[in-house]
Amino acid sequence: MSVEQKERAALCSEIIRACRTELCDLFPYLEAAFARLNWKASKQRGFHVDGDTIWFFPDDLLRLYAQSPGAVRRGYLHMLLHCLFLHLYASHANDRLWDLACDIAVESLIEEQEITRLSDGKKREFSRKGQSAEQIYEFLKENHFDASLEGLEADYRFDDHSWQAPGPGTKEKWEQLLLFAAGQKTGLGQRGRTSGAGEEVPPDGAAGEFDYRAYLRRFTFLREEVQLDLDSFDYAFYQLGMERYGSMPLIEPLEYQEVRRLEELVIAIDTSGSCSAEIVGKFLAETYKILASQENFFRKMKVYLIQCDCIVQDVTLVQSREDWMDYAKKIRIQGRGGTDFTPVFDYVRKLREQRELKDLKALLYFTDGDGFYPSAPPDYETAFVLLNDTGHPELVPKWAKCLLI
């Protein structure tokens, strides 16, 4: 590389660094997303992005920045939004219309911001504010527009859509970054009210050391359970009858026993984007620890398992140990959106109003603790169960219990 080429490369790096600094200042909730993309010089003219890297032709970058720094900043954001909205990972019968729809979608969003530093001097009349690329694509297929395709492409295109081979695993990373950005935009980390549509198989996890039996014992009550009461059975009289009268024992074991156990319980699991599949897997391991022990519950029981991010994603009613074993084989983590705890409490309130839950004493909520909490406490005990090394116990309200595992 010649001295001139090195100088041009250094100047390009300075331009990119300056643009990213300004964009992070304008959109702080996108900082992690900006950090995800590398910039590399290419021998191909123009710009394109592959999910890992933005490729640029040095002469084109220098020329565009000399003409309009705002155009470079806008183009940087344009390509980032293609990644965040997963435009790289979808395909349609009409590639040309799909490419145009993606460009219109991101440019309309940028236009909504009304930020002078993102101005590139173009006047775009075909704005589709609030519409996704999919919606715009369907609109374009119906040919309901006045401008020619060539004119629209000139107004809205920035990068060459060379999206044929995004790097492996990049789609999942951009999904997570979109969820993270949505949470950061609220100023509350992963708290948020944007639900997710992700689904994952939880990994196997080892149960922790917390003694749930001791904790749940506070909510148990006595009831006769149909089972042999061997504790009160006197073997002496039984043996005497068998010796003297053959097959006629003087006493037989009782077929019922008074036991102190739990009948109703709600277990909620935070499946938001802030809780990784590994963390949710640990939560499920703890849930297994609770439900696998027959000593915790009567034979006839009602345990509601609720998966929730910022909406209730899945509800399963477990009425026996066999129900739980069957559910555990096919469970899927559903959610990956923002974190809001209130939908679970609203759902439980409806169950109680419908008399599906008649005597609920406690609710266990497995979470990292970072989310929207109900403003008022319920009339049953709520325990937020957090991992000791990743949870946020300082955020748990005073009216709730905080258990660390």
Packing angle between helix 149-156 and helix 95-113, nearest 10 degrees? 50
Q: Are β-strands 256-270 and 221-226 bridged in parallel, bridged antiparallel, or unpaired?
A: antiparallel
Let me know: does 200 contact 393? Beta carbons within 8 Å: no
Provide the residue count of the chain: 405
Phi, psi (deg, nearest 5) at residue 267: -120, 115
Total-model pTM: 0.49
Alpha-carbon span 153 to 363, nearest angstrom: 55
Alpha-carbon span 73 to 57, nearest angstrom: 16
Q: How many CB atoms lie within 10 A of CB 53?
A: 14
- Could you read off the pLDDT tens digit of each residue along the chain, which spans 405 residues? 678 888 888 899 899 988 988 898 889 888 888 888 889 999 999 999 999 899 999 999 999 999 999 999 999 999 999 999 999 988 888 889 999 999 999 999 999 888 999 999 898 877 777 788 999 998 888 876 656 888 899 999 999 998 766 777 788 888 888 877 776 665 444 444 445 454 554 444 444 456 676 777 777 654 444 444 444 444 554 455 555 555 555 444 444 455 556 778 899 999 887 777 778 877 877 877 777 665 555 567 788 999 988 888 889 998 877 777 777 777 778 877 778 888 899 999 999 999 999 888 889 999 988 888 888 899 999 999 888 877 888 888 899 988 888
The three-class DSSP label of residue 264 is strand
- As beta bridge partners, residue 318 has 303
Closest by Cα among 50, 46, 23 to 38: 50
**Lateral strand order in the sheet of 47-49:** 38-41, 53-56, 47-49
Alpha-carbon span 4 to 357, nearest angstrom: 76
Using a 10 angstrom Cβ sphere, with 0-12 exposed, 13-18 middle and 19 or more buried, the burial of residue 82 is buried
Token pair in block for residue 257: 């026993």
The sign of the CA dihedral 14, 16, 20, 26 is positive
